[in-house]
């Protein structure tokens, strides 16, 4: 066993230890030692994906990913791996990409050694039983059925379809009943035999990268990993490569008109380019994506917005590997923008011409990508983001690093392409030159094209047509496009220069109520865990007039969208610099800010000023109204299980309205209606504020005073305090014990063959003892429910048993989506499962019961990973009105007396 000496670049704030090791079988692994972790995790990335599928067996790599979960020679009980993980407070999953398949899990610390042993069997001696083959082919098919009406899946496959047929990019990747059962059988092939052959030929240790995240000592975990993974066969299999681009000349200079499922229009402009992975230290696609995707004044998006043609724009590299890559610009169009497609493409190429004329700007590269010597104290965006990154759950961390290990040299396994540091105008210029009219593919989506296309993509049934667009045609669009003042972005004033940490006088464990008045309440929680120069601010404006009717709810929605629309050019710079904000609506509206604390106050004051001086711009109102209308119209295309969950909320929660009512009133609303409504909306309000992180208490109090001064205490105040009768309460319908309620509803999308059931069991109001019993039941029942209803009975790919909380009212829900059974039949299967499971619950041994209790204790001991996670937990207590910030401590106390609740659990 060898150990590499190369130093791995890690963040300045990262206290973990990393050790790279190569086992004798050539398996490369990274051990991450974190003494403070609450959970252990592992990820195995196998350098084999759907590109390696044999012809005529599309989806075989994905099918193999499913089958490895069943059982192994060492652990021959079906589904025992997933059951073990769940019973020890963990989770597990996998995904298949084009050239990689990633398997991963996390688990409580005391269960890690056995979990890792079970996991290792995937790659040593798995059993893929014949009787499971048909079940899991059906599961793959059910997964594909779920995707058939998803525009994301459909449009991605269409871009793959319009490429060279002999290139693996052209392939259908997920597989279905036809590719894994019907066609192989017709050819005399046994799918399971082909599966075993595929595994044997491709799953070689030298193509695997393993990341293990643990609290154990290096010596112990190194011996453990070597013992468990040294038996993986190494056949010295070569990595998959297919030199050459997937797009030949016939696939370039094309305009593809295509019909999406959802309402709305979209342009996807795509160029084949040199993969950035070969020049990730120079960051050419990152540099160009930053400029073309910018939203500040003078940007392409700003100009399109001024004309009322676009509601969103993004740019950057996609679908990349070592052999090929695409640079993609995606533009969400308004109805007016759809009519000006040629002008929009012309403006895009005008902006690219601007970049050509301006040359590659060193100051922009330095500002975004590397530490800038010109501004001395300024740290670049990417550098600051990496060195002050939030700690994430171990399971997410290991998946990302295991993938990086397949692509990057060892020193950059943690950084990936996130830290470009070499300014090379020639490298950036090479990619910029590839963004030319003679190299472009334009995909134009709109339901307006329905009935005007002549081709159909075979896997998803997407209607489309193709026409050639020559260089000269596009140059004509450029010449006829509006002559607007496109220019490069200004220097970013939001890049933080003060990253110091505030002194916390007292180690406060929970939020404290710093102040309360007739105007506001301020909750405050200084950072005592994360030592990161970031803050979280939530301001919830309770506005009773927001929920008076469907009209007022829609107008409140449009108001929040317009606020963000007005702020966008200015606040986009803050978001680039790592200071994010969002304005949302419910029974009023909420402002949320998260990021570096240094300049957060500047952004907050700007948002408050926009609220105070809000005026309705008729042209922007029309655009936002159109966008909101399409948003409501597209809710009918939600997955059936999502529709069922919406109906469940309507039944349970007081003062909720179906979205169809919102859609009905929208056409009647005009700009003057909003102009009249906003003063009414703001006339009576109370705001609840939560401030956390690297902010001192006097700063938090100053923020609240500023908001009060602007909104409540100006000479002509916008806001008045609420009357006592206007303070809102959350109410949930109480379901009577022993009574079953059945609410059937027809699916809104007649083309969707899936049906769904949400089987909800209400448990009761917030009560520690009741909560603990519910948590224990959910833990014990989760995996058996999934195994029985999904794996054995094959009701549907989407099968879950989860806890539910409605304003502090606890419950349990089965969520199942199916193409083989209707909701009534699914409901009977759920009831049958509960009856059988009740017997198993009564037969549970004391040791099994104690094991589950211990798993939950470990889960409760788990610390928050970052400021966002901690703040979300505490804000939920404030928002629900339960205010049990010490909830985990009390539940822990109950777990320690768990044997007393065993009879009640049964």
CB neighbour list of residue 23: distance below 8 Å, 6 or more residues apart: 1, 29, 205, 225, 226, 229, 230
Asked whether residue 906 carries a pLDDT value surpassing 70, the answer given is: no
HEC letters along 535-602: EEEEEEEECHHHHCCHHHHHHHHHHHHHHHHHHHHHHHHHHHCCEEEEEEEECEEEEEEEEECCCHHH
Q: For residue 187, give its domain range.
A: 17-230
Point out which residues pair with 42 in neighbouring strands: 105, 212
CB neighbour list of residue 536: distance below 8 Å, 6 or more residues apart: 592, 593, 594, 690, 691, 692, 693, 867, 868, 871
For residue 728, what pLDDT is reported?
A: 73
310, 290 Cβ separation under 8 angstroms? no
∠ CA 677-681-683, rounded to 5°: 115
The reply to whether 469 and 349 lie within a common domain is yes
Q: Is 299 exposed, middle or buried (0-12, 13-18, 19+ CB in 10 A)?
A: buried
Q: What is the pLDDT of residues 668-714, one digit of tens each?
A: 999 999 999 999 999 999 999 999 999 999 999 999 999 999 999 99
HEC letters along 711-771: HCCCCCCCCECCCHHHCCCCCECCCCCCCCCCCCCCCCCCCCCCEEEEEEEEEECCCHHHH
Q: Is 37 exposed, middle or buried (0-12, 13-18, 19+ CB in 10 A)?
A: buried
For residue 592, what pLDDT is reported?
A: 98
- The position carrying tokens 């950057």 is 316
The reply to whether 453 and 314 lie within a common domain is yes
Q: Dihedrals φ, ψ of 724, to 5°?
A: -60, -30
pLDDT band, residue 808 (cuts 50/70/90): confident
Point out which residues pair with 39 in neighbouring strands: 108
Q: Within 10 Å of residue 60's Cβ, how many Cβ atoms?
A: 26
* C-alpha to C-alpha distances, 350 to 303, 345, 469, 480, 482, nearest whole angstrom: 12, 9, 17, 11, 10
| Number of structural domains the chain divides into | 4
The reply to whether 215 and 345 lie within a common domain is no
* C-alpha to C-alpha distances, 822 to 145, 150, 583, 691, 830, nearest whole angstrom: 15, 21, 39, 47, 12
Q: How many Å apart are CA 33 and CA 16, to the nearest integer?
A: 6
Q: How many Å apart are CA 759 and CA 823, to the nearest integer?
A: 10
Asked whether residue 379 carries a pLDDT value surpassing 70, the answer given is: no
The answer to whether residue 156 is domain-embedded is: yes
592, 689 Cβ separation under 8 angstroms? no
Helix (H) or strand (E) holding 30: strand 28-33
The reply to whether 358 and 469 lie within a common domain is yes
Q: How many Å apart are CA 367 and CA 759, to the nearest integer?
A: 53
The answer to whether residue 3 is domain-embedded is: no
For residue 743, what pLDDT is reported?
A: 87
Q: What is the pLDDT of residues 527-555, one digit of tens each?
A: 999 999 999 999 999 999 999 999 999 99
Q: Which of 200, 230, 260 corresponds to the end of one domain?
A: 230
Nearest CA among 728, 682, 717, 645 for reference residue 552: 682
The reply to whether 474 and 612 lie within a common domain is no
Q: What is the pLDDT of residues 835-866, one digit of tens each?
A: 999 998 888 888 888 888 888 888 888 889 99
The reply to whether 709 and 784 lie within a common domain is no
Catalytic residues: 65, 136
The reply to whether 58 and 168 lie within a common domain is yes
- We report the CATH number of the domain holding residue 297 as 3.30.830.10
For residue 103, what pLDDT is reported?
A: 98
Q: How many Å apart are CA 366 and CA 595, to the nearest integer?
A: 21
Q: What is the pLDDT of residues 462-515, one digit of tens each?
A: 999 999 999 999 999 999 999 889 999 999 999 999 999 998 877 789 999 999
The answer to whether residue 637 is domain-embedded is: yes
The answer to whether residue 890 is domain-embedded is: yes
The reply to whether 32 and 152 lie within a common domain is yes
Give SS3 for 605: helix
Asked whether residue 161 carries a pLDDT value surpassing 90, the answer given is: yes
For residue 896, what pLDDT is reported?
A: 63
The reply to whether 67 and 216 lie within a common domain is yes
Work out the percent of the chain whose per-residue pLDDT is above 70: 97
Nearest CA among 56, 117, 49, 130 for reference residue 85: 117
Least confident of 27-41, 388-402, 583-597, 796-810: 796-810
The reply to whether 41 and 173 lie within a common domain is yes
90, 105 Cβ separation under 8 angstroms? yes
Assigned token pair, 741 = 């309620």
The answer to whether residue 728 is domain-embedded is: no
The reply to whether 199 and 328 lie within a common domain is no
876, 688 Cβ separation under 8 angstroms? no
The answer to whether residue 590 is domain-embedded is: yes
Assigned token pair, 709 = 């001064």
The answer to whether residue 747 is domain-embedded is: no
Our separate counts of H helices and E strands in the chain read 31, 25
Q: Which of 480, 498, 526 corresponds to the end of one domain?
A: 480
Q: How many Å apart are CA 663 and CA 334, to the nearest integer?
A: 18
The answer to whether residue 405 is domain-embedded is: no
Q: How many Å apart are CA 144 and CA 132, to the nearest integer?
A: 18
For residue 902, what pLDDT is reported?
A: 53
For residue 867, what pLDDT is reported?
A: 96
Q: Dihedrals φ, ψ of 492, to 5°?
A: -85, 110
HEC letters along 487-516: CCCCCCCCCCCCCCCCCCCCCCCCCEEEEE
Q: What is the pLDDT of residues 40-55, one digit of tens each?
A: 999 999 999 999 999 9
- The position carrying tokens 């975004």 is 368
Helix, strand, coil percentages, rounded to 5, for the chain: 45, 20, 35
pLDDT band, residue 895 (cuts 50/70/90): low
The reply to whether 210 and 268 lie within a common domain is no
Number of residues that make up the chain: 906
pLDDT band, residue 375 (cuts 50/70/90): very low
């Amino acid at each position: 066993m060898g150990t590499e000496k190369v130093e791995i670049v890690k963040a300045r704030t990262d206290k973990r230890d990393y050790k790279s090791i190569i086992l004798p079988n050539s398996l490369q692994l990274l051990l991450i030692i974190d003494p403070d972790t609450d959970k252990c995790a592992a990820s195995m990335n196998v350098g084999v994906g759907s590109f390696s599928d044999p012809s005529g067996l599309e989806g075989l790599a994905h099918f193999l990913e499913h089958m490895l979960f069943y059982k192994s020679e060492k652990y021959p009980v079906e589904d025992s791996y997933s059951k073990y993980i769940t019973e020890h407070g963990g989770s597990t999953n996998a995904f298949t990409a084009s050239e990689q398949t990633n398997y991963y899990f996390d688990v409580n610390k005391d269960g890690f050694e056995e979990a890792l042993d079970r996991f290792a069997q995937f790659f040593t001696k798995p059993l893929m039983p014949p009787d499971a083959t048909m079940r899991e082919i059906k599961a793959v098919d059910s997964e594909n059925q779920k995707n058939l009406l998803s525009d994301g899946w459909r449009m991605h496959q269409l871009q793959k379809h319009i490429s060279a047929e002999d290139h693996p990019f052209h392939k259908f990747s997920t597989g279905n009943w036809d590719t894994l059962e019907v066609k192989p059988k017709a050819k005399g092939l046994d799918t399971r035999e082909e599966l075993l052959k595929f595994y044997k030929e491709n799953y070689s240790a030298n193509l695997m990268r393993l990341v293990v995240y643990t609290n154990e000592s290096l010596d112990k975990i190194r011996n453990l990993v070597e013992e468990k993974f040294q038996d993986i066969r190494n056949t010295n299999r070569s990595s998959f490569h297919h030199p050459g681009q997937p797009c030949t000349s016939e696939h370039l200079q094309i305009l593809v008109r295509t019909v999406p499922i959802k309402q709305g229009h979209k342009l996807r402009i795509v160029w084949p380019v040199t993969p950035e992975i070969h020049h990730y230290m120079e960051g050419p696609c990152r540099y160009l994506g930053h400029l073309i995707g910018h939203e500040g004044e003078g940007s392409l998006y700003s100009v399109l917005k001024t004309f009322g043609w676009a509601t969103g724009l993004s740019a950057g590299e996609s679908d990349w590997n070592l052999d090929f890559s695409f640079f993609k610009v995606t533009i969400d169009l308004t109805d007016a923008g759809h009519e000006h497609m040629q002008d929009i493409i012309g403006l895009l190429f005008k902006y690219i011409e601007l970049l050509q004329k301006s040359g590659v700007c060193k100051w922009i590269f330095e500002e975004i990508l590397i530490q800038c010597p010109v501004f001395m104290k300024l740290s670049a965006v990417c550098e600051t983001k990496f060195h002050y990154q939030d700690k994430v759950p171990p399971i997410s961390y290991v998946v990302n690093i295991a993938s990086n290990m397949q692509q990057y040299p060892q020193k950059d396994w943690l950084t990936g392409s996130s830290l470009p540091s070499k300014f090379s105008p020639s490298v950036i210029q090479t990619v910029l030159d590839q963004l030319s009219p003679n190299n472009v593919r334009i995909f134009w989506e709109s339901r307006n094209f329905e009935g005007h296309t002549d081709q159909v993509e075979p896997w998803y049934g997407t209607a489309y047509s193709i026409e050639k667009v020559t260089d000269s045609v596009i140059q004509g669009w450029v010449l006829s496009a509006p002559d607007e003042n496109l220019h490069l972005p200004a220097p970013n004033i939001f890049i933080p220069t003060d990253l110091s940490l505030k002194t916390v006088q007292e180690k406060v464990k929970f939020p404290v109520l710093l102040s309360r008045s007739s105007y506001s309440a301020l909750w405050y929680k200084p950072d005592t865990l994360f030592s990161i120069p970031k803050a979280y601010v939530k301001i919830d404006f309770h506005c009773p007039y927001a929920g008076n009717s469907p009209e007022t709810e829609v107008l409140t929605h449009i108001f929040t969208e317009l606020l963000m629309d007005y702020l966008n050019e200015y606040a986009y710079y803050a978001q680039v610099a790592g200071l994010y904000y969002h304005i949302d609506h419910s029974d009023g509206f909420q402002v949320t800010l998260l990021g570096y604390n240094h300049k957060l106050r500047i952004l907050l004051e700007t948002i408050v000023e926009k609220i105070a001086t809000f005026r309705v711009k008729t042209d922007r109102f029309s655009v936002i109204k159109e966008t909101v209308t399409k948003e409501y119209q597209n809710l009918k295309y939600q997955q059936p299980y999502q529709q069922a969950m919406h109906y469940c909320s309507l039944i349970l929660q007081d003062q909720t309205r179906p979205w169809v009512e919102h859609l009905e009133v929208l056409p009647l609303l005009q700009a003057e209606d909003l102009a009249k409504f906003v003063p009414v909306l703001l006339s009576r309000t109370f705001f609840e504020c939560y401030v956390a992180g690297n902010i001192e208490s006097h700063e938090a109090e100053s923020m609240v005073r500023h908001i009060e001064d602007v909104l409540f205490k100006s000479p002509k105040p916008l806001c008045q305090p609420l009357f006592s009768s206007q303070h809102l309460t959350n109410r949930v319908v109480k379901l009577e014990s022993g009574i079953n309620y059945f609410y059937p509803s027809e699916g809104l999308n007649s083309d969707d063959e899936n049906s769904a059931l949400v089987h909800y069991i209400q448990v009761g109001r917030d009560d520690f003892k009741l909560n603990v019993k519910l948590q224990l039941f959910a833990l014990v029942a989760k995996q058996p429910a999934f195994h029985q209803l999904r794996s054995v009975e094959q009701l549907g790919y989407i099968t879950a048993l989860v806890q539910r909380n409605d304003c502090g009212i606890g419950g349990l829900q089965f969520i199942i989506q199916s193409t083989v059974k209707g909701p009534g039949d699914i409901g009977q299967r759920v009831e049958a499962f509960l009856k059988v499971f009740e017997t198993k619950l009564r037969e549970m041994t004391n040791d099994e019961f104690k094991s589950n209790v211990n798993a939950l204790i470990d889960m409760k001991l788990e610390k928050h990973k970052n400021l966002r996670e901690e703040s979300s937990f505490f804000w939920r207590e404030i928002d629900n009105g339960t205010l049990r910030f010490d909830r985990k401590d009390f539940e822990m106390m109950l777990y320690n007396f768990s044997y007393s609740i065993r009879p009640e659990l049964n």
